[in-house]
Structure 1
Amino acid sequence: MANNLRGKKKKKGADLYFQDRIFARKNGCFETKTTMPSYFFGFDHLWKLLKAYGENESMEFAQRWHNEFGNTFNLPFGVGRTVVRTCDPKNVQAILATKFNDFEIAVRQKPFGPLLGNGIFVSDGKAWEHSRALLRPNFVRNQISDIAVYEKHVSQLIKHIPLDGSTVDLQDLFLRMTIDSATEFLFGQSTDTLGNGKSKTGNSSFAENFSISQAKSLTRLLLGPFVVFHRDSEFVKASEESRKYVRRIVEETLEQRALQAEKGSLEGESYVFLHELAKRTQDEKMLTDQLLNILLAGRDTTAALLSITFFTMAKREDVWSKLRTEVLKLEGRQPSFEDLKSMTYLQWVMNEILRLYPIVPFNIRVANKNTVLPTGGGPCGTLPIFIRKGQEVQYSVYTMQRLPEFFGADSNEFKPERWEKLRPGWAYLPFNGGPRVCIGQQFALTEAGYTIVRIVQQFERLESRTPEAFKGNVGLTLSSEYGAKVALTPIQA
């Protein structure tokens, strides 16, 4: 009996092998030009990458891989696990858009599920479509362009900046500001971590637990199928506490809305993301999942963009000076949404920061069927390659957005002026692309732009207090290893 089963498995394996060969030949596929040599079944590569993450050198490490082995190559990554690594815009466009239905993100469910549940960033297929349809209407322009949403929290942040030229870590302040503004926008009640001692202990604990859980999720993602062996009690506790906090707010909101509905007093209330979602569903778990997913994007993308912008500008007096010249044209007036969109140099600065330091430096997809990527195969590495059902494709946005063929020989340099004529297409994806393009990108860019302008209006000088060059700390999103330690000199009356 056992021999029969083994025989059937061998036959099935042989059949799949020949089916794959036929599919590849039919679609004109070639072997990937390069396969990285490995030892111990590719566990050496996994160990080196995890080590690079621990030393905050993972982005540069991946770029060196591509410099040595090409824009697309095979990477043995553990027993029975060979992934395709790519930074080619044509392949990334296929994965995210033209062959969108051939790939899924199921690889995220086990690593992120304890925190994010089955929300928009960890779901596929019908579940993802439902999430997208549920969330997208809430990111309409009139909500994003409501400057009052940003001013309250930016004003609070500015109060924490020393006026005597002493050092302040703006990264810490930006993280606190963005969780305060995001929780107010999403939940209707702010964590108020920048408040004057009025923040509840539970709010502070939530911010801390949320940070711990997402920081530890990346290691779980890199482990791939081996995540089932991962044990981390701190991660489990932080995830559980984060979900309890949001679930409690959801429960309170649903109860409150039920009472208001009885009294007929729902109309005329101020905009709250959760309240709008509650009009479409009263499923407590779904609401909790979606809120945590949007909070992850809304908080970290904006805080990272702001922190890295000020870290960089503090070392570039020429950029700070040009930006101040543009901002001063407002004559102290708070910028409107239209003002922000028309400030060309401000947009160039943010574009260039997001190019050099994409908030999500790498990403992963898994093929849900046999499929093809347009380039990377053959002796020249320009022919189509076969991607087997179940195979993992990892793409490096960090490397792609520094390719000299798209951004010039100085592609590793910070140069906002390059955006005067630059039109990089799929080589520039700071907020992803295709059907999964970030639905909150305009919210993040508006909040970041507004915050930059308001700080520039208050201070005339910006000095770096970090001698080191920028070093990225990659969690689920990118941050600065050294924070954003600067000194700001207020404008004299």
Structure 2
Amino acid sequence: MKGSKFLLPALFKTLILPPSLFTLLLLLLPPSTPWKIIGYILSFPIVYIVRSNLSVYLSTRRAKALGARDIPRVKGRWPLNLDILVDWAKSGSEEEVGRMMVLLKRRWGGSYNTRVLGEDQIISSDPLVLKHVLLDDFDNFVKGEKFKDRAVDFLGDGIFNSDGERWKFHRSLMRPFFHPIHISPQLFAPSIQRFLSSLPTEGEAFDIQKDLGQLALEMAILWMTGEHLSDSTSSDHTRGETGYTFKDDVSIEWEEAKRHLGDAMTTAQRVVGKRVKIGTVWPLFELTHDPLIEPMKTIRTFFKPIIERAFKRKGLTRETDEREEIHFIDRLVDATDGMKLIEDQLINTLLASRDTLASCLTFCVYVLCLHPEVGSKLREEIRSVAGDENREVTKDVIRELRYCRAYINEVLRLYPPVPLNIRRTVRPSLLPTSQGGPPMYMPGNTSIILAFILMQRDPAVWGEDVDEFNPERWMNDGLGKREREGYMSWNYGPRMCMGQPFALTVTHTFLILLSRHLDKLQSEHKDMRFAFDVQPQGTAIPSAWTTKEGCDGRARGGKDRMWVVADVVLAIKGGLWVRFDHDHERTK
């Protein structure tokens, strides 16, 4: 049974141990039926309370022995802090992501222990704690066996589902492929141009978040494999400038998998995310069916012939010219013969590149609509440095766009694609604090949620203008030490995102080409605007959140105009609906 490694011990402690102890206790109690019934019922909460209080006592005792102190334990409104569990469940459906943590931080500080259902669960947005977890005590904070157990059917033995020596092996295998020398803006520009040309320009509203998700998928697959998802199949066996297309083994089944690849990846991520939220008992919710069977069949059907073709190319002498690219998959098959290992790495890489890139591009567009004065300055720099559509987008052009890079950094600060992360201790650890004083004792085998989004919106780190979208803070002398340590949108330490060159190259290229597209539309007296009137019912940001009274801990201090959620990555609830509409001010 899947998940039984952790489920069975949990069921034993919860359902078997209490009545077993009570059975032994019966030897000391009168043999009457009422005593048996009452004792059996009470055995569950009694054992639970004893275990919970014993763990608190032992943790406090160990902390004192090490000259440390306990991490503040939250005292919720309801018994066993069940209100925190309810508030967490409301994030995204009734509340904005992170607001619960904002309120808890005000009362309990930058790091605290929620102790939901009597179990330690640490949450922190303290830069020193996050640095300690991700760098200083890196080997002690792992994904953990429980996470791997829940994600193995999706991520397999890939880099995002491994720790220790296995993770180091994956990292060393993949790192060379992510070097900037292998990532060129010329590879992505045609896809972006086609995307922009396909957008409606006559006032029709459309969900650009959804469209950007498909664009990100296409560009990730293009860079990884050379496959063009937007191309229709042909009957010829051809080889193009940016990749290889072998038609002899392409089937109807593969075409179907290609069409549904994005949906399959999203479904698989949500299944794993649900398992993580449910916890140890997740197998009980999948007794009648395995929700990963269908999406994984689609994903594997898509990648199988592509991997087989890559193996066919391996070892062949390629008479390539300078315009042609050797793709990520080619470098993988040159490094290993393991087909399953290659499949796992492709799935892991696609997971990282598609969703995080789509989130970054979505919020870049969102900010352009939300802060047109910032957008004007961005487009002015792009016109000055990158020129018009006749000039090719190159790495040299991208390097000169200082304000554009600052713009992207500020987008990632306020809207990090991965707003939260989680690690688990192998052994106890002493956590430092920004407030000074004794360190905090964190027991072994305990989870900690790293709240990047709270840290990057913390006025104690970024100053009183923390909620302002201000790219200038990244320019001139740049950030101070405090701000640099409080910015982790690319993760931090040994697990820092290897895909940063890919994401930055694509995002810069996209913003350059989008700017040119907007300039062209502006010559026709059209601007890109929010389409609030078509936002799906129940997904519009509550009007109270934009008021002085209702914006407390929400909507970036009332400055946001869309509901920000975090299902898998940071996104806009209901989609980012926009339209290219006539600018009546310019046509007067």
Class of the TM-score when normalised by the shorter of the 2 chains: 0.7 to 0.9
Q: Quote the Cα distance in structure 2 between the aligned partners of 1:206 and 1:306.
A: 20
The Cα shift of 1:279 comes to 1.1
CA offsets per residue over residues 72-92 of structure 1, 9 Å max, x none?
A: 1110123x4211111000000
1:76 and 2:128 are equivalent in the alignment = no
Match for residue 344 of structure 1 among 402, 405, 409: 402
1:175 to 199, 207, 213: 213
What's the offset of the Cα at 1:276? 0.6
Closer, same or farther: CA 17–88 of 1 in aligned 2, 3 Å = closer
Cα distance in 2 between the residues matched to 1:19 and 1:409: 41
Residue 470 of structure 1 deviates from its aligned partner by 2.3
Contact 2:271–2:292 (CA under 8 A) maintained in structure 1: no
Counterpart of 2:198 in structure 1 is 160
Question: Which deviates more from structure 2 when the two are superposed, residues 443-452 or residues 336-345?
Answer: 336-345
Deviates more, 1:114-123 or 1:222-231: 222-231
- The DSSP-based 3-state class of the residue aligned with 2:272 is helix
Secondary structure, counterpart of 1:225 in structure 2:
coil
Question: How far apart are 1:410 and its partner, in Å?
Answer: 2.4
- Quick one: higher RCO (CA 8 Å, sep 6+), 1 or 2? 1
Q: Which residue of 2 aligns with 1:256?
A: 312
Distance 1:251 1:141, change over 3 A: closer
1:13 Cα shift? 12
1:464 is aligned, of 529, 541, 544, to: 529
Paired residue secondary structure (1:364): strand
Please identify the structure whose Cα radius of gyration is greater: 2
Q: Which amino acid is the alignment partner of residue 474 of structure 1?
A: A
1:324 matched to 2:379? The reply is: yes
| Matching of residue 305 in structure 1 with residue 360 in structure 2 | yes
Work out the CA distance in 1 between the residues paired with 2:98 and 2:162: 26
**C-alpha spacing 1:100/1:255, structure 2 compared with 1 (3 Å):** closer
Aligned to 2:554: none
Query: 1-side partners of 2:284 and 2:168: how far apart?
Result: 31
Q: Distance in 2 between matches of 1:183 and 1:373?
A: 41
> CA, structure 1 residues 189+473, in 2 after alignment: closer, same or farther (shift >3 Å)?
same
Residue of structure 2 in register with 1:432 after alignment: 491
2:52 touches 2:119 (CA, 8 Å); kept in 1? no
Partner secondary structure for residue 359 of structure 1: coil
Distance in 2 between residues matched to 1:54 and 1:136, nearest whole Å: 38
Between stretches 448-457 and 183-192, larger displacement belongs to: 183-192
Partner of 1:448: 507
After superposition, the C-alpha distances for 1:192-219 in whole angstroms (9 at most, x for unaligned) are: 2xx5798933211112111122134322
Query: Given that residues 71 and 442 in structure 2 are in contact (C-alpha distance below 8 angstroms), is that contact kept between their aligned partners in structure 1?
Result: no
Alignment correspondent of 1:92? 130
1:220 equivalent among 266, 275, 280: 275
- Encode CA deviations 1:130-184: one digit per residue, 9 max, x unaligned: 110111110112112x122111211111121123243232212211111111112
* 2:188 maps to amino acid: Y
- CA separation in 2, counterparts of 1:397 and 1:29? 25
Amino acid at match of 1:485: W
Q: Which residue of 1 aligns with 2:470?
A: 415
Equivalent of 1:185 in 223, 226, 233: 223
Amino acid at match of 2:573: E
The aligned residue for residue 9 of structure 1 is: none
Deviation at 1:415, TM superposition (A): 2.2
Q: Report if the CA contact (8 A) 2:207-2:577 is conserved.
A: yes
Counterpart in the other structure of 1:265:
317
Q: 8 Å contact 1:29–1:386 — kept in the other structure?
A: yes
Segments of structure 1 that go 5 or more residues without pairing to the other structure are: 7-11
Matched residue type, 2:563: K
Structure 2 unpaired stretches of 5+: 1-19, 25-50, 235-253, 533-540, 542-560
Correspondent of 2:258 among 182, 186, 203: 203
From 189, 205, 210, give the equivalent of 1:151.
Answer: 189
Give me the whole-angstrom Cα distance separating, in 1, the residues matched to 2:119 and 2:367.
Answer: 39
Deviates more, 1:334-343 or 1:54-63: 54-63
SS state at 1:159 partner: helix
What residue number does 2:429 align with? 371
